[in-house]
Amino acid sequence: MSVYDFIIKKIREIQEKAEQEEPITNVTASAMLTAELTLIASVLIAVVMLRLVHPALMIIIIVAVFVIALMTMPIMPKLRREQNDSFNNMIFYVILALGIIIALFYWGNLNG
């Protein structure tokens, strides 16, 4: 099974779970594949900036992100399902972000 077929199969599985009735066209599949690669590449490049904290930490996190990405591929259909217009999801991420921001600002600055 090629990577393309694998991605299509996964998208279909996720769509079935979400009970969506959108047809899977070539455009949908290639868009999803591009988004997937962009997401993984961007995150991996961003993680390289951890070299400023400690080179060893950077290597560990890069390996971890790479392994997680390989194990959970394709990420985009799941991300799309999470980033929908459901108010419950929005509130969940807003409260989560508030907690992270307050914790990081407090902790980050006290140690900065």
Partner 1 sequence: MDALIPIMVILPIASALFLNFLHKNDRTIKILAIITALILPIIPLITSYGTHYFGGYAPLAENSAIAQGLPALITSTQLFIFHPAITYVFSSAQQLMIFILGLVAFFAIFTSLNETKKPSGVYTFLMFMGTASVTAILLSDDIFNLYVFFEIAALAQVGIIVASGVKNSIETALKYILLGNIAGPLMLLGIALLLGVTGNVNITDMIFSFKQGLVDPYNPVILMALGLITFGWLYSSGLPPFHTIKSAVYSKALPHGAALLQAFSVFTLVAIGIIILRLFSFLSFSKTAIIGISLLAMILGITMAIVQTDFKRIIGYLAVGELGYIGIGLGLGTAFGITAGLFQAINEVIITAFLFIGFGTVLYKTRTSDTRKLGGMMFENPRIALMVLLAGFAMAGIPPLNAFQSKLMLVQASLQSGLPELGIIMILLSIVTFMTFMKAFYTIYMRPKPADLEIFDNKIPKSTILSLVVFLIICIIIGLFPQIVTSSLQTLASGLV
8 Cβ partners below 8 Å, 6+ apart? 24, 29
User: What are 96's two structure tokens?
Assistant: 């989560």
Question: Which listed range, 1-9, 12-20, 63-71, 87-95, lies at the site for partner 1 (CB under 8 A)?
Answer: 87-95
How many CA within 13 A on the CB side of residue 38? 7
Q: CA torsion sign, 11 to 28 to 62 to 52? A: negative
Q: Answer yes or no whether residue 79 interacts with partner 1 by CB under 8 A.
A: yes
73 vs 7: CA distance, rounded Å: 8
Q: Give the nearer residue to partner 1 in terms of CB position, either 3 or 97.
A: 97
Among 16, 64, 67, 84, binds partner 1 (CB under 8 A): 84
Distance of closest approach, residue 10 Cβ to partner 1, in angstroms: 14
Q: Which amino acid is at 97?
A: A
Q: Give the nearer residue to partner 1 in terms of CB position, either 8 or 32.
A: 32
Q: Answer yes or no whether residue 96 interacts with partner 1 by CB under 8 A.
A: yes
Q: Which amino acid is at 83?
A: Q
Q: Applying CB under 8 A, which residues contact partner 1?
A: 22, 27-28, 31-32, 34-35, 38-39, 41-43, 45-46, 48-49, 76, 79-80, 83-85, 87, 89-91, 93-98, 101-102, 104-106, 108-110, 112
